[in-house]
Amino acid sequence: MKNTLLLALGLCWNTAALAQTAAFSTLRGQALTAYHNKQYRESAQRYEEGFRVKAAQPAAGDFYNAACSWALAGDATKAFQNLDRATEAGWDDVTHLKTDSDLTALHADKRWEPMLRKLEARVAQAEAKLNQPLKRELAEILESDQGLRRQIAPTQEKYGPKSPQMDSLWRQMQRADARNLPRVTAIIDQYGWPGNSLVGRSGSLAAFLVIQHSDLATMQKYLPQMRQAAAKGEMAKQNLALVEDRVLTFQDKPQLYGSQLHTNQATGKMEFFPIADEAHVDERRASVGLEPLADYAKNFGLDYRPAPKQP
């Protein structure tokens, strides 16, 4: 835990700062829960409370999510205010913004096109500073990694999880992973972690996915670089959390963030790998920008009940 060092440097200031950071994480978690419960105004208000916390360090995605909640709550002015905040903080996913159904109500507003032009201009300016050949290579790797994985759900639904079609798809993914891994490790060994400022967020995402889909030894080798990249804002903290959990589960240790699941062979149903200090898992998840575990569990058809906190 890095808090030990911070407290040694200055107990009073850091205790207050850590408490405020925890307050922001809690409010962000509440905002995400309200969003999943379709309580959009409540979600937006919790985001705004979080942004006012003195030591808060909201990311571009936090402002973007607040904009979505405000848009769904029917407050276009506050939605555009938060989209501007997101742009200033580095939001760069123009395609997602254009196609996000949460923002559909804003498209007819006269502020939509100027906001979009401003975002596109800022992204173009940032893109000019990236390593374009490396970014293109990682974009190809990203599609290779995710293209096959997008076929998992429809293939399972149509043919079943133990069908020859699924076996064929798993083998294709294994071959793709085997091709992608040496390409990505060569990039990391030459450039260091390919972070946002070098290849953009999608490039950094591609590197993360390939390392996450590798073996334990490879993940352990590059985990220190990924931690440094996340600390510097060069990699999403949410993605680092997934790797941290995967390394722990590969070692048969309890995970920290509850991101890893497996199929119970006896019941045939999905379930979480063991979680350390499960009563406080949502606090850890909120600290890296992940939604509460109960909401995450819904993606897998699970009705998760948080573990009770000890008095």
10 has a pLDDT exceeding 90: no
Average pLDDT in the 268-275 region?
91
Lowest mean pLDDT among 6-20, 29-43, 157-171, 264-278: 6-20
For position 310, what pLDDT does the model report? 67
Q: pLDDT for 156-198, tens place per residue?
A: 899 998 899 999 999 999 999 999 999 999 999 999 999 999 9
CA dihedral of residues 16, 20, 25, 28 (deg, nearest 10): 170
pLDDT band of residue 291 (cuts 50, 70, 90) is confident
For position 22, what pLDDT does the model report? 66
Lowest mean pLDDT among 97-111, 129-143, 215-229, 281-295: 281-295
Report the percent of the chain where pLDDT is more than 90: 67
Q: What's this model's pTM, rounded to 2 decimal places?
A: 0.75
For position 308, what pLDDT does the model report? 77
Burial class for 23, CB neighbours closer than 10 Å (0-12, 13-18, 19+): middle
